[in-house]
Structure 1
């Protein structure tokens, strides 16, 4: 059965409706205490490739539940008055995530163009993801 709307159309729509930072723009906000980077990649990706220093790991599949104060899975970090900058490996999942949380009512959200891959390629800082014991 053909898709009514494929992933490319969904990502393109999201990109047209969300704020996108270049790696350079995002990197300039790295030490800003009013900014929280949020990594929506799978935990295996984080352990394998590292993470942006100080980023909060929030798997894409849980984001709607973690950002909603009414959810039993709400994470208090998302209740803070900060700018949230989402990223994934290539910028597709983070574009969809940013659009989703924006549609849910979160303001002051953005994502990184090219994701963590572009971040690493630009030589921006990377921290090791600590594995839970």
Structure 2
């Protein structure tokens, strides 16, 4: 079966439409109260690898539902007026997600260059996933 578009094409198109924040710039935003890092990885990835300090976990499969104020699953954090920096493992899921949220009207939204893998490789801070309770 021939696909109309490959994932690689979709990510490239999304990346052309969104803002990508370099890791060094992202590190300067860690203490910015008006910026929220949003980890869209699967919970197993968070448990295995940790996450960016202060990040909010929004699983990729629920993201649009949590952002939409008309959804029964809406999370008020997405109506906070903050700037959102999405990240995943390698910056593919976050590029697609940031593009989708931008189309929905969430602003400002961007994604992290290189994803969590790039963040860790740069020696940026990582914390364990907070315990649920």
Normalised to the residue count of structure 1, the TM-score between the two structures is 0.97
> What is the rounded CA distance, in whole Å, between the counterparts of 2:68 and 2:7 in structure 1?
25
Partner of 2:60: 60
> What is the rounded CA distance, in whole Å, between the counterparts of 1:17 and 1:75 in structure 2?
25
> What is the rounded CA distance, in whole Å, between the counterparts of 2:35 and 2:132 in structure 1?
25
Partner of 2:9: 9
> What is the rounded CA distance, in whole Å, between the counterparts of 1:131 and 1:77 in structure 2?
19
Partner SS for 1:102:
helix
- How many aligned residue pairs are there? 133
- Shift, 1:132, TM fit: 3.3
> What is the rounded CA distance, in whole Å, between the counterparts of 2:76 and 2:132 in structure 1?
21
Structure 1, unpaired ranges of 5+: none
- Shift, 1:6, TM fit: 1.0
Q: Deviations over 1:11-47 (max 9, x none)?
A: 0000000000110011110000000000000000000
Partner SS for 1:111:
strand
Partner of 2:92: 92
> What is the rounded CA distance, in whole Å, between the counterparts of 1:66 and 1:132 in structure 2?
19
Partner SS for 1:2:
coil
Partner of 2:31: 31
Q: Does 1:21 align with 2:14?
A: no
Q: Does 1:47 align with 2:47?
A: yes
- Shift, 1:130, TM fit: 2.7
Decide whether the 8 Å contact of 1:47 with 1:130 is kept in 2: no
What is the alpha-carbon root mean square deviation over aligned residues? 0.9
- Shift, 1:2, TM fit: 1.1
Normalised to the residue count of structure 2, the TM-score between the two structures is 0.97
